[in-house]
Structure 1
Amino acid sequence: MTTFVDRVVLHLQAGDGGHGCVSVHREKFKPFGGPDGGNGGHGGSVSLVVDPQVHTLLDFHFRPHVKAANGRGGAGSNRDGANGADLVLKVPNGTVVQNADGTVLADLVGAGTTFEAARGGRGGRGNASLANARRKAPGFAELGEPGDQMDVVLELKSVADVGLVGYPSAGKSSLISVMSAAKPKIADYPFTTLVPNLGVVRADNHTFTVADVPGLIPGAATGKGLGLEFLRHIERCAVLVHVVDTAALETERDPVADIDALEAELAAYGGLVDRPRLVALNKVDVPDGRDLAEMVRPELEARGFRVFEVSAATRAGLKELRYAMGELVTAARASAPPAEPARIVIRPKAVDDVGFTVEAVPGGAWVVRGTRPERWVRQTNFDNEEAVGYLADRLARLGVEEKLGKAGAQAGDLVRIGEREFDWQPTLYTEFVPGIRGGDQRLGGKSERPSAAERLAARKARRQRPADEVDSGEPVGDDAE
């Protein structure tokens, strides 16, 4: 059974906003009490937060599809819909969030660090919120905006101060087990360690974490063995320690060749050249191992390495190795730039920023891009003529009509805003004239309600007509379309 997962693909779906409500208040003696449709609730968002108690991405491996709650629709009597609950996903410290093409969206380091991965849709306004002095009783409401839908890749890069690297069965797990309280699996066969192990080590007043990276072999940086899967876990390490098996049975191997091979893999992976190195010649409790360690130590020191002869079995040399690790970690922490406190950055818009762009595309079409125009289109009910007319008014006030004209758009050209396409009619925008709710005269829809004088004349004409014509079933007067 899988117990450690450090890379998953999440399919995120934020909650959709609730639709606004179209309602007119009615009660006894108040047949037309005015619009009272409530607003829809906002959809829930999906956020990632670092939790120190979480150490793997295992939960997301089994449940990769994540969906937040939708907002509830508005109702009459000015009742707003409830907002959808936000969904907070707990991730380990050191999680990197990427999109499908590999672009890094966030690097989550530090307990409580939060990233909003998918934003919930805004709720639509009800007709009570859309009423104004000119449009006193709107016959439409805004639709809820769909929530963000995206796929993200989560990669875990262990946050450790020291990384132990070496060939399989070099004794890395044994070292970390005697230097800390970690209890990794230890056996006498290669690739015993299949997941990185973390341990907390204390040397005098130095406290730091050590990562036991699964065994590397030549070709690891290109995907051979387990190296490509776990090399990412040493990217954040401030110090690297080569753990070398001086009692290896293979005659073609020696400590110097092992270090050269691993250094070549670290260079091929990239980004680790500036990390200080230590060398731990392990298993010196074996006579042959001690003899080999004494033979190669001068050559390694001539290359600039600090060499320590250690034994996980007898714990020989571990105290010196711990203190050397602590000194390098302390120096790395002191040289690191101080963490800047979180601050609010205010970036005012340019005076000539209209919030949208107009771009010509092949075929005589035009594309309008902008947060507000695209949101307005998504929230418009195109089955309602009055809602479409309201959208045209908003786009005209924003300056879309004017900018299309200046860009060279002609009547009948195809204009695309978001996922909708329109035939542009530059003469469409005129002042809104109140009429029958749900219709708009400018779109050739329902006609304006007859005036009081016209209705009185129709009643008189109906009284003067013969009874057989009135009862013929043909609509007359106020019943006529």
Structure 2
Amino acid sequence: MTTFVDRVVLHMQAGDGGHGCVSIHREKFKPFGGPDGGNGGHGGSVSLVVDPQVTTLLDFHFRPHLKAENGKGGAGSNRDGGNGRDLVIKVPNGTVVQSLDGEVLADLVGVGTTFEAARGGRGGRGNASLANARRKAPGFAELGEPGDKLDVVLELKSVADVGLVGFPSAGKSSLISVISAAKPKIADYPFTTLVPNLGVVRVDNHTFTVADVPGLIPGAATGKGLGLEFLRHVERCAVLVHVVDTATLEPGRDPLADIDAIESELTQYGGLADRPRLVALNKVDVPDGKDLADIVRPDLEARGFRVFDVSSATREGLRELTFAMAQLVDESRRATPPAEPTRIVIRPKAVDDAGFTIEAEADGSYTVRGSRPERWVKQTNFDNDEAVGYLADRLARLGVEEKLAKAGAEAGDLVRIGEREFDWQPTLYAGVDFVPGNRGTDLRLEDKSTRPRAADRLEARKARRRRPEDEIEGAPEAPADDLDDPDDD
């Protein structure tokens, strides 16, 4: 027997991006052929799509953890890594995607409707892509960006035009079985129906769907019985039909009291006051049921209800009831405005929008928020000094250091970017006068008195080129590291 599940919690993980590769091309007679590290592949995304063949969330009840494929890492010889495959999750029509705190992220109605729940991470660039005229052979590559992690709640709300509501054993399942091709379970005990049943009804040129909503008893809106679990399936219905048992033998039960009790639960649930109502006095094939229907009909009509005497056993009154349903459904469809075509709205960034913000915290630290700086930090290998220097240059060019200085940050203050914390040391870009060194080094950490001046190094180089080799013996010798420094060219 298939178990019906209409609410699950999913833990989704998009694929991580592949790491970029650090590689130098080498072959015979070409010991240094330049960087040729490939880029990492992008991670796969997780998407939800409506499939007409799926009617329950049962699969996710047993398999709530879903993960897309990671991107492959880059390789030498400019070989890029493969992208991870996207994970497409098929869900029933009418699935609502919510965050854990109740925020609606998507309402998936209509076959083929798609929602990208978790985006895959970007692949890191290899050192071949990071090379430029100044940095000819990078000794580092970018790491792959982690994929999104998201916990969501999936709720299934049946997409039906007409909802049949009433007490257990009122005959809702029998009614839907004779007006449609649906074959629900029918028995002579309460709570036979444990799942909503959907049936398609055709009347002349009208076609609409009918849902049998089980488990409505007094207190259902507060969690009693099964009503709280299935009241959500009434939300999308355009028409509500009260199915009343006129032949019940339970003491204290009568049609008026039953309708009042169900209306009270619908009112407490909320959002259903504007739906038109019909009343189906069921089981009039029983003599006592027919007599009771004749007695309560004037009172129900005085309340404004359209009342129909029906019998699922003899099919009495079903034609009139289905025509009334079709009329109200047609009126509801004509009153609903047509869906507007999707418009792509392009909003250009403001000229002064730097793409990040800086917030001063109460503890004296500063937090940098923005998709670009946070992504750059995630893609930086902090075990590589050259990669850290490259990150510092990128942040400085973006204007992060300048804004930190304007916000009042001083050297040594704690700065947070994403999940990383740094002790901020201002650079030349932030208005501090210092001479930058090679990648991964900072000349501010050295003693200025022992560091040769750039003019002295240049003079020593000129003297070396100008004098014959036998005259160099008495010349001051420049440090070997400085002679080969490309920053002096």
Do 1:69 and 1:85's aligned partners in 2 also have CA atoms closer than 8 Å?
yes
Do 2:374 and 2:418's aligned partners in 1 also have CA atoms closer than 8 Å?
yes
How far apart are the structure 1 equivalents of 2:262 and 2:137? Answer: 75
- How many equivalent pairs are there? 457
How far apart are the structure 1 equivalents of 2:92 and 2:435? Answer: 57
How far apart are the structure 1 equivalents of 2:196 and 2:9? Answer: 20
Q: Shift in Å at residue 428 of structure 1? A: 6.1
How far apart are the structure 1 equivalents of 2:297 and 2:352? Answer: 69
Q: Shift in Å at residue 202 of structure 1? A: 0.7
The one-letter amino acid paired with 1:263 is E
CA RMSD of aligned residues (A): 2.4
Q: Shift in Å at residue 427 of structure 1? A: 2.6
How far apart are the structure 2 equivalents of 1:232 and 1:394? Answer: 51
Do 1:428 and 1:442's aligned partners in 2 also have CA atoms closer than 8 Å?
no
The answer to whether residue 174 in structure 2 is matched with residue 174 in structure 1 is yes
Q: What is the aligned partner in structure 2 of residue 238 from structure 1?
A: 238
How far apart are the structure 1 equivalents of 2:180 and 2:90? Answer: 26
Alignment of 1:358-369 (within 5 A): 358-369=358-369
- Residue aligned with 1:121, SS: coil
Q: What is the aligned partner in structure 2 of residue 474 from structure 1?
A: none
Q: What is the aligned partner in structure 2 of residue 311 from structure 1?
A: 311
The answer to whether residue 239 in structure 2 is matched with residue 228 in structure 1 is no
Q: What is the aligned partner in structure 1 of residue 63 from structure 2?
A: 63
Q: Shift in Å at residue 2 of structure 1? A: 5.5
- Residue aligned with 2:8, SS: strand
The answer to whether residue 139 in structure 2 is matched with residue 133 in structure 1 is no
Q: Is the alpha carbon distance of 1:441 and 1:26 closer, same or farther for their aligned partners in structure 2, counting shifts above 3 Å?
A: farther
Q: Is the alpha carbon distance of 1:62 and 1:431 closer, same or farther for their aligned partners in structure 2, counting shifts above 3 Å?
A: farther
How far apart are the structure 2 equivalents of 1:14 and 1:440? Answer: 36
Do 1:135 and 1:434's aligned partners in 2 also have CA atoms closer than 8 Å?
no
Alignment of 1:126-205 (within 5 A): 126-205=126-205
How far apart are the structure 1 equivalents of 2:251 and 2:60? Answer: 45
The one-letter amino acid paired with 1:102 is G
- Residue aligned with 1:320, SS: helix
CA deviations 1:319-338 (Å, max 9, x no partner) are 00000000000000000011
- Residue aligned with 2:79, SS: coil
Q: What is the aligned partner in structure 1 of residue 339 from structure 2?
A: 339
Q: Shift in Å at residue 348 of structure 1? A: 1.4
Q: Is the alpha carbon distance of 1:432 and 1:25 closer, same or farther for their aligned partners in structure 2, counting shifts above 3 Å?
A: farther
How far apart are the structure 1 equivalents of 2:240 and 2:418? Answer: 51
Q: Shift in Å at residue 444 of structure 1? A: 6.0
How far apart are the structure 2 equivalents of 1:442 and 1:290? Answer: 99
How far apart are the structure 2 equivalents of 1:101 and 1:119? Answer: 21
Do 2:184 and 2:193's aligned partners in 1 also have CA atoms closer than 8 Å?
yes
User: What's the TM-score once normalised by structure 1's chain length?
Assistant: 0.91
Do 1:49 and 1:90's aligned partners in 2 also have CA atoms closer than 8 Å?
yes
Q: What is the aligned partner in structure 1 of residue 33 from structure 2?
A: 33
Q: What is the aligned partner in structure 1 of residue 486 from structure 2?
A: none
The one-letter amino acid paired with 2:20 is G
CA deviations 1:322-367 (Å, max 9, x no partner) are 0000000000000001111122121211222111000011211000
Do 2:247 and 2:286's aligned partners in 1 also have CA atoms closer than 8 Å?
yes
Alignment of 1:258-297 (within 5 A): 258-297=258-297
How far apart are the structure 1 equivalents of 2:213 and 2:10? Answer: 25
Do 1:376 and 1:391's aligned partners in 2 also have CA atoms closer than 8 Å?
yes
How far apart are the structure 1 equivalents of 2:279 and 2:218? Answer: 18
The one-letter amino acid paired with 1:301 is E
Q: What is the aligned partner in structure 2 of residue 470 from structure 1?
A: none
How far apart are the structure 2 equivalents of 1:306 and 1:388? Answer: 75
Q: Is the alpha carbon distance of 1:288 and 1:424 closer, same or farther for their aligned partners in structure 2, counting shifts above 3 Å?
A: same
Alignment of 1:380-391 (within 5 A): 380-391=380-391
Q: Is the alpha carbon distance of 1:434 and 1:229 closer, same or farther for their aligned partners in structure 2, counting shifts above 3 Å?
A: same
- Residue aligned with 1:410, SS: coil
Alignment of 1:76-155 (within 5 A): 76-155=76-155
Q: What is the aligned partner in structure 2 of residue 468 from structure 1?
A: none
Q: What is the aligned partner in structure 2 of residue 322 from structure 1?
A: 322
Farther off after superposition, 336-345 or 309-318: 336-345
Q: What is the aligned partner in structure 2 of residue 400 from structure 1?
A: 400
Q: Is the alpha carbon distance of 1:431 and 1:279 closer, same or farther for their aligned partners in structure 2, counting shifts above 3 Å?
A: farther
Unaligned runs of 5+ in 2: 452-456, 474-479, 482-489
How far apart are the structure 2 equivalents of 1:341 and 1:52? Answer: 23
CA deviations 1:109-130 (Å, max 9, x no partner) are 0000000001100000000001
How far apart are the structure 2 equivalents of 1:254 and 1:63? Answer: 45
Q: What is the aligned partner in structure 2 of residue 354 from structure 1?
A: 354
- Between the aligned residues of both structures, percent identity stands at 82
CA deviations 1:429-479 (Å, max 9, x no partner) are 5786657xxx4455869x9xx99979x99xx9xxx9xxxxxxxxxxxx99x
How far apart are the structure 1 equivalents of 2:188 and 2:428? Answer: 82
Do 1:283 and 1:310's aligned partners in 2 also have CA atoms closer than 8 Å?
yes
Q: What is the aligned partner in structure 1 of residue 52 from structure 2?
A: 52
Do 1:20 and 1:38's aligned partners in 2 also have CA atoms closer than 8 Å?
yes
Q: Is the alpha carbon distance of 1:223 and 1:431 closer, same or farther for their aligned partners in structure 2, counting shifts above 3 Å?
A: farther
Q: Shift in Å at residue 30 of structure 1? A: 1.1
Q: Shift in Å at residue 267 of structure 1? A: 0.4
- Residue aligned with 1:38, SS: coil
CA deviations 1:138-187 (Å, max 9, x no partner) are 11000000001111100000000000000000000000000000000000
CA deviations 1:77-114 (Å, max 9, x no partner) are 00000000000000000000011111110000000000
Q: What is the aligned partner in structure 1 of residue 11 from structure 2?
A: 11
Do 2:215 and 2:230's aligned partners in 1 also have CA atoms closer than 8 Å?
no
The one-letter amino acid paired with 1:96 is V
How far apart are the structure 2 equivalents of 1:54 and 1:155? Answer: 14
Do 1:169 and 1:215's aligned partners in 2 also have CA atoms closer than 8 Å?
no
CA deviations 1:27-46 (Å, max 9, x no partner) are 11111111110000000000
Q: Is the alpha carbon distance of 1:442 and 1:279 closer, same or farther for their aligned partners in structure 2, counting shifts above 3 Å?
A: farther
The one-letter amino acid paired with 1:116 is E
How far apart are the structure 2 equivalents of 1:214 and 1:43? Answer: 43
The one-letter amino acid paired with 2:398 is L
